[in-house]
Amino acid sequence: MMLKCINCSSIDVGKIGPKQYFCWDCCIEMTITGDKMDVYQVEPDGTVSSLNDLFVDEALVAASEHPGSDPAGDITVA
């Protein structure tokens, strides 16, 4: 199944982990957890900010809760 970026609808989305995908066009990370998706903006300096508030409808996210983990540690941006 091809995953399209929920931000820019690009199909240039790479798999970076078992449940993690990265859009090379707009540099966002999508992490699938069960039946919901968390979306993060990855800045050029490696910092990550949540975009869940923007995509709450499309991502089927009922609540914008975060466990406090830092997903930036798993990302390698070339």
Give me the residues that bind Zn ion (CB under 5 A), please: 5, 7-8, 10, 23, 25-26
Q: What residues does 36 pair with on adjacent strands?
A: 33
Residue with Cβ nearer Zn ion (55 or 61)? 55
Burial of 23 (0-12, 13-18, 19+ CB in 10 A): buried
Residue with Cβ nearer Zn ion (41 or 72)? 41
CB of 8 to Zn ion, least distance (A): 3
Residue with Cβ nearer Zn ion (7 or 52)? 7
Residue 74 sits at φ, ψ, to 5 deg, of -95, 0
